[in-house]
Structure 1
């Protein structure tokens, strides 16, 4: 019986070592190489095929410098106002999420841009406490080995922004027929406001709720100082 537990312990240790090495290697690789796809893109593609539609992954990578400043400001204003100051976690937002989760069966995240980037690039879609644990691990890694500039660049290039639309360049062309480098404050806020639910909400046909959210996002953008990446 003792030998069995020793074997199990060796297997567990080996699995942990393999996971740590693989995850660290992936993070270091994507510090320099742009992620070619995400697991969400693959899942959405199969979902479209299941509905009898063509496979669609509309994306085009653009560098950080070719993304308009208003879009970076809108993303921070909408999703993570402490992005440039925090180290990957907003503990105030996490505390609020924990309180809400105690009152609701639906798991609420309170995720920062770094956490969302870690989730989008390295993890499978879904909501569970186990996946949240992996998300935290990858968040620590990208905050350690990537710059905030790289995190924002990757975030805005892989995030889902519509049915089969991924990344800010594809979204900018689809919604406003212009490159991401030329987005205005209003257009950037219109795109940022749909981040939480891009398959249900529209950047060009907002509901009253989304219009109010756009107003708040633009107000937060005006209050920001220079973005010190």
Structure 2
């Protein structure tokens, strides 16, 4: 029995050290691929799509317009710079809203979305949510907000098989992520809830309305000054 307990403890310790090493590696190294990308690639192949390949190119925050982090904060997680990975107010509000059975939405933060898309499989089990919380804690402790935002903007799906702002900006606007406008950044953020259903190339009336709401929210937050803590030094100006 003691031997079994010792083997179990060794397994737990090994998994812990491996997970810490994995998260630390991605603090400095761009993820070459994510589990979500692999899943989407497999789905494309299973559906016999003519071009099921993934479009993805990692760029740094210095290579992005500051409108992009502002847009996703305004759209997805306005308390991103204030919370420690979990926005308990948003979770409580989502729970109350979902009790009605209408417009079901989660209260996931940007950090939680990175944990889910980079390190985990997609699903709704309690086990996956628990592991997601664990990786969320690790990223907040080992990465910091700037790196979390940088990875998020690179691995978020912004179209069918289109991952990250550089691939999306090149595909939809024919320009690099560094040169997008506020309205274009808001449009990319507008499709994030469902990038398969909604398209930045052919925005529906709903997407255009959502873009307008996000652009207004970006202004109400005070423009790029609101996210200056995670911006490169040369971008920390209104």
* TM-score normalised by L of structure 2: 0.88
Partners in 2 of 1:77 and 1:200 — Cα distance? 21
Residue in structure 1 matched with residue 22 of structure 2 by the alignment = 26
Residue in structure 2 matched with residue 65 of structure 1 by the alignment = 62
Relative distance call for 1:153 and 1:50 in structure 2 (3 A) is same
Asked whether the 8 Å contact 2:159–2:200 carries over to 1, the reply is no
Residue in structure 1 matched with residue 79 of structure 2 by the alignment = 82
Residue in structure 1 matched with residue 12 of structure 2 by the alignment = 16
Residue in structure 2 matched with residue 147 of structure 1 by the alignment = 144
Compute the displacement of 1:127 (Å). 2.0
Is 2:128 aligned against 1:131? yes
Equivalent positions of 1:179-194 (< 5 A) are 179-194=176-191
Asked whether the 8 Å contact 1:190–1:214 carries over to 2, the reply is yes
Partners in 1 of 2:92 and 2:3 — Cα distance? 40
**Where in structure 2 are there 5+ consecutive unaligned residues?**
231-238
Residue in structure 2 matched with residue 36 of structure 1 by the alignment = 32
1:219 to 212, 216, 225: 216
Relative distance call for 1:104 and 1:134 in structure 2 (3 A) is farther
Relative distance call for 1:202 and 1:55 in structure 2 (3 A) is closer
Partners in 1 of 2:212 and 2:137 — Cα distance? 33
Count of matched residue pairs: 225
Compute the displacement of 1:19 (Å). 1.8
Asked whether the 8 Å contact 1:121–1:158 carries over to 2, the reply is yes
Local SS of the residue matching 1:181: helix
Asked whether the 8 Å contact 1:107–1:127 carries over to 2, the reply is no
Partners in 2 of 1:49 and 1:211 — Cα distance? 31
Residue in structure 1 matched with residue 171 of structure 2 by the alignment = 174
- Root mean square deviation, CA, Å: 1.9
Task: Say which is worse superposed, 192-201 or 122-131, in terms of deviation.
Answer: 122-131
Local SS of the residue matching 1:198: coil
